Chain A
Amino acid sequence: MAILEVKDLCVDYETKKGTARAVNHVNFSINKGETLGLIGESGCGKTTTAMSLLGFVSPPGRITGGSVIFKGEDIRNYNDEQMRKLRGASISIVRQEAQNALNPVLRVGDQIGEVLREHGEKNNKLIEERIDYQLEMVGISPKRKKSYPFEFSGGMRQRVMIALAAIAEPDLMILDEPITGLDVIVQRQLINLLAELRAKMGLTALLISHDLSVIAEMSDRVAVMYGGYIAEEADVVSLYKNSKHPYSSALIESYPRIRGEKKTLKSIPGAPPKLLTPPDGCMFADRCQKAKDICFKQVPESVVVDGHRLRCHLYSGNSKGGV
């Protein structure tokens, strides 16, 4: 069953120079227990998409179309109070560099307690027990609950943020670059921790990252975003083995790896499109090695080929199979 269905979502930013469409007719859904990886370069609309799920798009940004169906209800129709109840309890988020989001003058345990109280728990004894439980769950000794955030390393702070996001056992957790900016070994520990939580809690997650390897390790399905729309979406194994969209393929080919034979890598020439002056045709046409005439003239429609949903003129007209 799909917990979340995003249909035709559009987010525009009004600027003095015109309107920039940061999220452009985005469609995806996430089933219970599934992790959808959302990958793309900076400025492609990943985080804006996540923010619209939480109703955090604020002026000059505006959701201008589409719907966000969460457990059968369109949360775009929610009022502020309903949204407030949804956040944290039903949809929570671990943000990039969330380790800096902890309050520096409050003890770590107290910050977890604060959230528990906010979610309606009044019994102090239960709250203390729950703080211990949450810390243990993310691999931190409950003895450390009296510490301040500055006494924790970056990785430990991020663990606390994961504990906070998981506290109300939300139906959906948004992980926005959860391990970016941390050391390699700490990253690995967090990947393992999140995998463990997934197994234990049956976590449903939207994982946002620019890092192909993190997405590969943690996702079931992957959506590749480019210039505000989803260029390709497919099962994770199929996407890495048989990517169809030239952008996905180029991304995979540009990624350096440490195992296997050393290969020459190809960077993608050019730069992502300017959203204030988007191209007439495909967003990627300028940088695409395979671009045809039509790619510069017409925006590609979404088609399904071998279980990959993609927007690319190279595949228009031979849509078959379903996602």
Chain B
Amino acid sequence: MSASNELVLKVRNLKKYFPLKKGQVLKAVDDISFDINKGEILGFVGESGCGKSTMSRSILQLIKPTGGKILHHGDDLTTLTAPELRKRRREMQMIFQDPFGSINPRRSVSETIRMVLAIHKICTNREEEDKVITNILKEVGLTPVETYWDKYPAMMSGGQLQRVSMARVLVLQPDFIIADEPVSMLDVSVRIGVLDLLLKMRELHDISFIYITHDLATARYVCDRMAIMYMGRIVEIGPAEEILQNPQHPYTKALIAAVPEPNPEDDDVELPLKDSTSGVSGTEEGGCRFFPRCPYGKDICEKSVPDFTNIAENHKAACFLLGDKVKTIV
């Protein structure tokens, strides 16, 4: 179950800036660093616009990062040539949020997967392809295989299509997958099925995952560790349970407090936030980005950007009020 210590992906100081008018820049992803071990699932949790998706695209080189290193088994992806990168893509795959939009509606299930096999020249003949497709459909739970073989996306439910997405990615035997909100468009009753499949794939093939979501509850269900993102930066990162039971950053606390519980007897929740509106976009100079909304903000928070403070093993948060001052805010 637990992840090994073999490093699959090492991201250092990743930045993606978008130019705006009047020489301003939008720092969509600003100085993000993290590691992922083999077979580990790391969740990135944050609200819309916090840079989660921009980050995953930068990692896969779908957009060119402004700065930083992305080391995949030691090779920096930002320095690879296009053909080298294309070969590498086989090992790094992505599952998208919208299963209805990310699968070609004109191709049947088997054709969709056959296409991927052809592009990456995985099989030498059609019989071999058929065998691979059959096996992968079984693996993702689209059985009996004959029923799904010739089905088109319009004939399938969101949960089934998300399984096709998984199958399409898994035939390439990648060693890490970025799953960008894979269940947020699915009904509650089928979500767990898809998440369980993700866990099973990790178990069977030792695949590492980056699980991107806005939903702390599903993140808790699948992730070993999670990183909380706010306006382009990681504000807190650590083991999933530790983050939920012992959150340190004021933003993490607000996020956890906001999540509604399926318990009608719960008390009303007052959000620990100063300002109800979300902060300005990531263009401002210096200072902690959460400062405008933080109920505990001090002078220093406005002037400089906080570094990470270690809280426990593997658990750190970027806030000036932590460390020895931690007691003053709780």
Contact = CB atoms under 8 A, between A and B. Distances in A.
Nearest to A213: B260
Interface in A176-190: 183-189
Interface in A204-237: 210-217, 219, 236-237
Given A212-B188, A251-B188, A267-B196, A192 B268 contact: yes
A213 B196 contact: no
A258 B241 CA distance: 9
Interface in B214-234: 214-218, 220-221
Interface in A232-287: 236-237, 240, 250-252, 254-259, 262, 265-269, 271
Given A183-B47, A183-B214, A258-B216, A266 B192 contact: yes
A188 B271 contact: yes
Given A184-B255, A189-B276, A267 B192 contact: yes
Contacts of B276: 139, 189
A36 B157 CA distance: 29
Nearest to A271: B157
Given A257-B262, A258-B259, A265-B221, A184 B189 contact: no
Contact of B189 (A214, A217, A254): A254
Given A42-B187, A267-B191, A213 B220 contact: no
A185 B216 CA distance: 12
Given A250-B189, A256-B217, A262-B241, A185 B47 contact: yes
Nearest to A217: B260
A216 B268 contact: no
A195 interface: yes
Contacts of B270: 192
A99 to B, nearest CB: 13
A210 B188 CA distance: 7
Nearest to B220: A258
Contacts of B192: 254, 256, 265-267
Contact of B258 (A139, A153, A185, A210): A185
A271 B159 contact: yes
A188 B260 contact: yes
B255 A256 contact: no
Contacts of B216: 184, 258
B313 interface: no
Contacts of A219: 264
Band of interface residues on A: 35 or more
B243 to A, nearest CB: 10
Contacts of A168: none
B278 A153 contact: yes
Given A254-B188, A254-B189, A262-B241, A236 B264 contact: yes
A256 B187 contact: no
B258 A188 contact: yes
Band of interface residues on B: 35 or more
B266 interface: yes
Interface in B231-263: 241, 244, 254-263
B123 interface: no
A156 B278 CA distance: 11
Contacts of A254: 188-189, 191-192
B269 interface: yes
A277 to B, nearest CB: 14
B26 interface: no
B189 A267 contact: yes
A21 to B, nearest CB: 20
Nearest to A214: B260
Nearest to B257: A188
Contacts of A57: none
A266 B220 CA distance: 15
B189 A185 contact: no
A268 B190 CA distance: 6
A31 B119 CA distance: 61
B47 A41 contact: no
Contacts of B273: 185
A237 B263 CA distance: 8
A251 B273 CA distance: 32
B328 interface: no
Contacts of A41: 187-189
A255 B183 CA distance: 13
A217 B263 CA distance: 7
A191 interface: yes
B286 to A, nearest CB: 24
B100 to A, nearest CB: 12
A257 B271 contact: no
Contacts of A192: 268-271
B265 interface: yes
Nearest to A183: B47
B277 interface: yes
B188 A255 contact: yes
A188 B214 CA distance: 14
5 contacts: A184-B214, A185-B258, A237-B265, A256-B220, A258-B217
Which 10 pairs between the two chains have the least Cβ-Cβ distance? A267-B193, A267-B192, A188-B258, A213-B260, A256-B217, A183-B47, A212-B262, A268-B189, A41-B187, A236-B264
Given A212-B262, A271-B159, 8 more contacts: A153-B277, A192-B270, A216-B262, A237-B264, A255-B262, A262-B220, A267-B196, A269-B193
